Amino acid sequence: MVLAVAILIIAIIVALVFIPKLKKQQDRKAIIVFSFLLFIGTALNMGIALKIHIPSPLDLITFIFTPIRDYIVSFTK
Amino acid sequence: MEKEIISSRQFTIVTFLYSIGTAILIIPSSITGAAKQDAWIAASIGVLLSLLVLKLFLTLANQTPSLNFIEANEKILGRFFGKITAICFLIMTFLSAGELLYFIGIFMKTEVMPETPTLAFALLFSILIMYAAYLGIETFARSAEILFPLFIFIFIFFVISITPQITFENIQPLLEATKASMFYSIARFMSIFSFPLIVLLMLYPTGVNVQPSAQKGLYIGAILGGIVLVTLIVLSILVLGPENTASRTFPSYALAQRISIGNFLQRIEIIMAFMWITSIYIRTFMYFYTTVVGLAQILKIKDHRPLIIPMGIIVIGLSQIVHPDIVHSTNYNNEIWPIFSFIFTILLPILLLIVVVIRNRKSKAQKNETPQQETEDDNQKV
C-alpha cells in the first residue's frame, strides 16, 4: 500500500516536472504520448505493488507461436 | 534532435559487447541441454552461420544509407504496413529489454544477494539505462570504450585461472549428438547471439562516421564475441561436465566459483560477474534505446528524451511480470524466442530486401521506358 502511494507520488512529480517543459515547446503530440505512457507505467507498477496478478505479456506470444513451434518440432522428428 | 555519430572503433566495441550480451549467462546451459558435449561444435557452426545473417543485415542497411531500421521500414513498406512491422519490431525489443532486467535481477537474487527483492536490482539498473539513454549514443559508446579493456582483461584472467581444472574426459566422445539436437542447439545459439544484432541497424548506416570500416567492425565484433562465447561453452563443458552445465541456470557463474589457484585465490566469482553485468548493460541499453527512439520516430516526435522516463517506468514494471518463475523463462527462451525472433529479425529484413530490389528494378525500368515513350510521342507528333 505504502509502495503504491509512493509510486503515485513519483509519477505525479514526474508529470509536474516534464509537462510544463513540453508545453513550452508547443509539442502537443509529445504531451499526449508522454501522459499515456506515464499512465500505463504508473498503473502497472501500482498493480505490482498491490500484488494484483498481472498475466505476463510473453504468455500471449507463447500462445501465438506454440503452433508454429509444434509444427517445426514434428518436422525434425 | 541533433545527429549523434560514433566512430567505427566504438561501433566495433559495442557490437562485441552486445553480441555477448545475455548469451554469456544463459547460453551454455540451454545449448548443452540439447547437444550435450558437442555443444561447442554447435556454437562454432552458429558463429559461422551468423556471418551470413550479418551479410543480410548489411545488404539491407546499404540499400537505405540515410535511414535507420525503423525509418527504412516506413520508407520501404509504405506508411501503413511499415508502421505495423515497425511496431511489432519495437514490441519485440521492448519485451526483451524487460526480460533482460528480469535476468539481471534473478541472477543477483539467486547467486549473490538472496534476500533482496529483484525489484531493487531492476530499479538500480534501469536508472542507469535511463540516464545513459538521456545522455545519448555518443556518451554510451564512450562508456563502452572504457568498459572494453576491463572486460578483455577479466576474461583473459578468467580463462587462464580456470585452465588447471580442465578434465578432457568431459568432452569425449566427440560428434555423438543427433542431427535434430544439433539443429535445436544451433537455433538457440543463433537466436540469442546473432539474430538480435539487427538492433545495431539503428546505429549502423546513419550514426557511424566511416561506413566501410564500420561494416568490417560489425564482422570483427561479432566474430570476437563468438570466440568469447565458444571459449566459455568449451570451458563449461571441460570443467563442469555436460550434465552439470545443462542443469545449472547460470553455468558461467558456477565456473567462476571453481577457480582455485593454490587454495589461496578462491571465490573471486563476483569479480568475474563484472563481465556479464557489463555485457547485459550494453544489451539492455541497446534494446531500450531502440524502443524509445523508434517510438518517437513512428509517432513523429522530434525529441525522444521526454519519453525515456515513462518508458523506463513501464520497463521496470515489465521486468517484474515478464516471467513468473525461472522455468517459464527457460521454456520461453528455448522454445518460443527462437521462432519469435526469427520472424522479426530474419524474415522481416528478407521481406524488406525483396521489396527494395523489386522497387529499384521498377524505377529503373520506368527510367528506361520514359525516354522511349517521349521519342514515340515525338514521332507521333511529327
Tens-place pLDDT, residues B99-108: 999 999 999 9
CB contact under 8 A, B321 and A56: yes
CA distance B323 to chain A (A): 6
Residue B256 lies in a domain: yes
CB B307 within 8 A of CB B301: yes
CB contact under 8 A, A41 and B317: yes
Dist. CA B217–CA B12, nearest whole Å: 5
Show Cβ contacts of residue B134 under 8 Å, excluding neighbours closer than 6 positions.
Answer: B305, B308
B152 pLDDT higher than 90: yes
Residue B246 lies in a domain: yes
Which cell numbers in the block locate residue B261?
589457484
Which cell numbers in the block locate residue B326?
525461472
Residue B381 lies in a domain: no
CB contact under 8 A, B313 and A11: yes
B304 pLDDT higher than 80: yes
Which cell numbers in the block locate residue B189?
545459439
Residue type at position B363? S
State the alpha helices, DSSP H only, in B108-199. Answer: 118-135, 137-162, 179-193
* CATH at B45: 1.20.1740.10
Confidence (pLDDT) at B351: 92
Q: Which of A11, A18, A54 is opposite residue B321, by nearest beta carbon?
A: A54
Mean pLDDT of chain B: 88
If pLDDT is split at 50, 70 and 90, which confidence band does B380 have?
A: low
Give the pLDDT confidence of B6-29 residue by residue, as tens digits: 999 999 999 999 999 888 888 888
Dist. CA B143–CA B148, nearest whole Å: 9
Best residue in B1, B87, B130, B301 for a mutation probing chain A (most A CBs within 10 Å): B301
Residue B366 lies in a domain: no
> Cell match 561444435: residue?
B41
Q: What is the mean pLDDT of residues B111-119?
A: 90
CB contact under 8 A, B322 and A58: yes
Q: Tell me if chain A has a CB within 8 Å of the CB of B301.
A: yes
Give the pLDDT confidence of B30-72 residue by residue, as tens digits: 888 888 888 899 999 999 999 999 999 999 998 888 888 888 8
Give the pLDDT confidence of B238-258 residue by residue, as tens digits: 999 888 888 888 888 888 888
Q: What is the mean pLDDT of residues A32-51?
A: 92
If pLDDT is split at 50, 70 and 90, which confidence band does B371 have?
A: low
B140 pLDDT higher than 50: yes
Confidence (pLDDT) at B167: 87
Considering only CB atoms, which chain A residues are within 8 Å of B120? none
Considering only CB atoms, which chain B residues are within 8 Å of A14? 309-310, 313
Residue B375 lies in a domain: no
CB B29 within 8 A of CB B249: yes
- Report which DSSP code applies to B196: G
Which cell numbers in the block locate residue A68?
508454429
CB B166 within 8 A of CB B31: no
Confidence (pLDDT) at B99: 92
Confidence (pLDDT) at B382: 44
CB contact under 8 A, B301 and A38: no
Name the domain count of chain B.
Answer: 1
Q: What percent of chain B stands above pLDDT 90?
A: 52
- Helix (H) / strand (E) containing B323: none
Q: Tell me if chain A has a CB within 8 Å of the CB of B323.
A: yes
CB B217 within 8 A of CB B12: yes
B259 pLDDT higher than 60: yes
- Please count the residue pairs, one from chain A and one from chain B, whose beta carbons lie less than 8 angstroms apart: 95
Of B373 and A47, which is predicted with more confidence?
A: A47
If pLDDT is split at 50, 70 and 90, which confidence band does B368 have?
A: confident
Q: What is the mean pLDDT of residues B270-280?
A: 89
Q: Is ipTM over 0.85?
A: yes
Residue B178 lies in a domain: yes
Q: Tell me if chain B has a CB within 8 Å of the CB of A26.
A: no
Give the pLDDT confidence of B316-325 residue by residue, as tens digits: 999 999 998 8
Give the pLDDT confidence of B183-241 residue by residue, as tens digits: 889 999 999 998 999 999 888 888 888 888 999 999 999 999 999 999 999 999 999 98
Cα B285–Cα B302–Cα B58 angle in degrees, nearest 5: 50
Q: What is the mean pLDDT of residues A19-47?
A: 90
CA distance B182 to chain A (A): 11
Dist. CA A46–CA B309, nearest whole Å: 16
Dist. CA B60–CA B57, nearest whole Å: 5
Q: Give the chain B residue whose CA is nearest to the CA of A71.
A: B339
CB B17 within 8 A of CB B144: yes
Q: What domain range is B346 assigned to?
A: 8-361
Residue B333 lies in a domain: yes
Considering only residues 177 to 196 of chain B, which have any Cβ-Cβ distance to chain A shorter than 8 Å?
Answer: 179-180, 183-184
Task: Choose the weakest-confidence range: B86-95, B115-124, B170-179.
Answer: B170-179
Considering only CB atoms, which chain A residues are within 8 Å of B106? none
Residue B3 lies in a domain: no
- Report which DSSP code applies to B208: B
CB contact under 8 A, A37 and B299: no
Considering only residues 333 to 372 of chain B, which have any Cβ-Cβ distance to chain A shorter than 8 Å?
Answer: 335-336, 339-340
